[in-house]
Amino acid sequence: MNILTHWLRSCLPGLPVDDRRLAEDLTLRGIAVEGEFPASCGGSLYEMDITTNRVDAMNHYGVAREAAAIYHLSLPPLALAAPLDYTRPGAGFPVRIEAQDLCGRFTARVIRGATIGSSSGIIAEYFAALGQKQILAPVDVTNFTWMAMGHPTHVFDLDKVEGGIVVRRARAGERLRLLDGSEKTLSSDDLVVADEVKALALAGVMGGWDSRVTEQTKNILVEAAWFDPVAIRSSSRRHGLHTDASHRFERGADFNAAPLASHLVARLVVQQSGGEVEGPLVDVVVPAIAARTAHRPAIRLELSQVRRILGKTASGEDAGPGITEEIVAQYLTALGCDLTRQAAGEYAVKLPSWRLDLEREIDLIEEVARVYGYNRFANTLPDFQGAVRELPHASQEAAIRQTLRALGYTEAISSTFVSAEEAEAFRSAELAGGVAGAVPMGNPLSAEAGMLRPSLAPGMATMLAHNLHRDVSDARLFELGTVFSGSTEAVKERMGLALGATGAARSAAHLYPVEDALFFEVKGAIEALLARFSNTSPAPSVRFDANHLPDWIEPGRGARAWFNGEIIAVFGELSAAQLQARKLRQPCVLASIDAQRLLASPLRQPVVAELSRFQPVERDFSFVFPDAVTWAAIEAALQGSVAQGAGPARDAAELRSVRPLEIFRDAKGKAVPLGSYSLLLRVVFQSSRNTLAEQEIALWTEWVVAQLQRLGGLQRA
């Protein structure tokens, strides 16, 4: 917003600094001046950047209050905001608030016999300097008022109002033509200012066309109110409108400012357009809302806490004594707080109605530091007692990241929000402890970001698509982050892990067809990751099946991973529907892993074994197995039996390793029967005591053959 220093100095006479120094001092205290330019009315024009929590400073009087606190000046009351006596008798205009949860205060005042024309005098002068468009005098007065004191107001053509004012929720399907000429269809969530027959304005956002003030207007109704910030924000976004009024009401207007704004508008309308004020100011207040805005409980403030948190002040090169009690009282009083001494160094602080951002003791301490100047504190470190403590799952998280980075995966971060469609398509109830349900956002940024993510998989799919659409055809990504389930009332959080791979496979494909290589590469990454964690179950620590896969995985192209008897991951190729929705032309393999269970599992401790000094011996075996026989069963039959003490040499396990070399299937069923596959595997024998003799190798070879035949294998010649 723009601020005129000429106007600012009229609010605060006696400012002791020039415009450049004023800009610097305001900026250092969080009321940022982004630019300074000459103004046609004299002085400077400030381009201000006011943070969203400081709606009280989005006007000239609010900035003047900040300057008064900085320079220890007394801020005079706002000019022309004193109560105005009426000259025409009347009972006051009737007002009824039906939506008392959305409108906490509504004031109304009648001016009769006005002659509408252009504004003149100080309003015209300041508007020209600010580049503000002039419309008609009463309308310009309302704009002048929010620029002066920050509170939006509105003027109606009184002769267009039927009966009294009713502040209510809109009726579903009710239509209203606004001042910008657009016609809106309202919902029951919208708040309107209406008369007894029709809606007159979209409350807190924009007035209506039919009740606007024109050059033919003779009688005026002045409105100043307080509306609920959430309701105004919802209506503003629902109808795609952002106005000066909604900007301020959305951020929390001053509950007590409505009568002052009404007095200011009434005085200026009479000055600019003539007429007489009829009857007293009507001021309807909802006590429940007044209690939580203008009449909040006092906050307890201890001087010892102020000194502990802020530390010592700096005086040249020497550290000063710190913030004194006089400084605390002076700054908080200047900002509008009312301090009542409770005991030595302890106050009860009543908060000003225009500072809804102040809620706790620490907020008051921050205000003292801000106005005093952060640059005026000594550079000291806070006292620290104790030691640095590692988070409970830090070693597990480090192991996950180290393992995946070593496998060539790059860590990425996606949005926490997803669309309702993605939340439904990628929900992972099995991997979230059986808790179903995606969590909707109460006030989403957009329809594409309306839900908290139930899985990291949709974000991973989006990141892979982002790379592919920018000609990065080979990508390996992982993300470790929070996923959400439950409901808005009871949100449950878990740690999730997602892997994503696309492009040429980086592993040899002699064990599977080329089109399957990427899938098995991701499967291998999952196995390598799970191998870092201990087996706490009597069952095999890791196994896979292809049952009950989610819809986002292409049928027949995915699997589930089991770890310690529980499902730990689902993975597979992204379905054709998901590829088409993201306009992808090459396969992408995704894995959704329940990292919460991994973090709760102990890491596998490395075991050091002495290397044998004797020659290893390799033997290859070629067998035909039914498709039902898995590699896990073959590996368990050989290495599992050895671990349990079975085999030709029970006192020393000479069988060191078993690994597949080649898998072959014959689609015609000639070389290998249909429903079977040929496996070439290599076994390594090595003794830690001596060089193996042929007789010992022969015994081991016979034992291996016997074990494989028990599984239903047929040895090939």
- The string of pLDDT tens digits covering residues 394-452 is 999 999 999 999 999 999 999 999 888 888 888 765 565 444 667 888 777 777 888 89
| Segment 19-36, tens digit of pLDDT | 999 999 999 999 999 999
401 closest CA partner among 225, 236, 532: 532
Helix (H, G, I), strand (E, B) or coil at 177: strand
Instruction: Look at 567-581, 643-657, 688-702 and tell me which has the smallest mean pLDDT.
Output: 643-657
CATH code matching the domain that covers 2-70, chosen among 3.30.56.10, 3.90.550.10, 2.60.220.30, 3.40.50.620: 3.30.56.10
| Segment 221-240, tens digit of pLDDT | 999 999 999 999 999 999 99
The residue among 78 and 200 whose pLDDT is bigger is 200
- pLDDT for 688 equals 87
- Residue 597: CB atoms within 10 Å: 19
Helices (H) and strands (E) in the chain, counts: 21, 33
User: Band of the pLDDT at 717, cuts 50, 70, 90?
Assistant: confident
| Segment 498-508, tens digit of pLDDT | 999 999 887 65
Q: What is the dihedral of CA 533, 539, 540, 541, to 10 degrees?
A: -20
Tokens read off for 52: 């969203």
- Give the span between the Cα atoms of 459 and 414, in whole angstroms: 5
Helix (H, G, I), strand (E, B) or coil at 502: strand
Phi and psi, residue 321, nearest 5°: -75, -10
State the DSSP H helix or E strand holding residue 703, giving kind and residue range, or none if neither. helix 694-710
Contact indicator for 518, 587 with CB cutoff of 8 Å: yes
- pLDDT for 311 equals 82
Contact indicator for 368, 299 with CB cutoff of 8 Å: no
- Residue ranges per structural domain of the chain: 2-70, 95-291, 299-373, 394-599, 617-715
Domains 2-70 and 299-373 share a fold: yes
| Segment 358-375, tens digit of pLDDT | 999 999 999 999 999 988
- Give the span between the Cα atoms of 206 and 714, in whole angstroms: 84
The residue among 352 and 420 whose pLDDT is bigger is 352
**618 conformational bin, left if phi > 0, alpha if psi -120 to 50, beta if neither:** beta
CA 242 to chain centre: 22
Helix (H, G, I), strand (E, B) or coil at 174: coil
- pLDDT for 542 equals 85
Tokens read off for 632: 């896990």
State the DSSP H helix or E strand holding residue 267, giving kind and residue range, or none if neither. helix 257-273
Which CATH architecture does the domain made up of 299-373 adopt?
2-Layer Sandwich (3.30)
- pLDDT for 388 equals 78
- pLDDT for 317 equals 44
Q: Give me the mean pLDDT over the 205-218 stretch.
A: 96
Contact indicator for 48, 32 with CB cutoff of 8 Å: yes
55 closest CA partner among 253, 192, 236: 253
Helix (H, G, I), strand (E, B) or coil at 707: helix
- Give the span between the Cα atoms of 661 and 67, in whole angstroms: 80
% of residues, the chain, pLDDT over 90 = 70
- pLDDT for 434 equals 46
Residue 650 has pLDDT above 60, yes or no: no
Residue 531 has pLDDT above 80, yes or no: yes
Which CATH architecture does the domain made up of 394-599 adopt?
2-Layer Sandwich (3.30)
User: Band of the pLDDT at 564, cuts 50, 70, 90?
Assistant: confident
DSSP H helices, 407-469, are 420-425, 457-468
Question: Across the chain, what does the average pLDDT equal?
Answer: 90
Helix (H, G, I), strand (E, B) or coil at 14: coil
Residue type, 630: T
Contact indicator for 73, 330 with CB cutoff of 8 Å: no
- pLDDT for 137 equals 96
- Give the span between the Cα atoms of 46 and 645, in whole angstroms: 85
Q: Name residues whose C-beta falls within 8 Å of residue 164's C-beta, 6 or more positions apart in sequence.
A: 93, 94, 95, 96, 195, 196
| Segment 448-497, tens digit of pLDDT | 888 899 999 999 999 999 999 999 999 999 999 999 988 888 888 999 99
Domain 95-291, CATH: 3.50.40.10
Residue 41 has pLDDT above 80, yes or no: yes
Residue 333 has pLDDT above 70, yes or no: yes
Q: Give me the mean pLDDT over the 120-132 stretch.
A: 95
Domain 617-715, CATH: 3.30.70.380
The residue among 41 and 651 whose pLDDT is bigger is 41
User: Band of the pLDDT at 108, cuts 50, 70, 90?
Assistant: very high
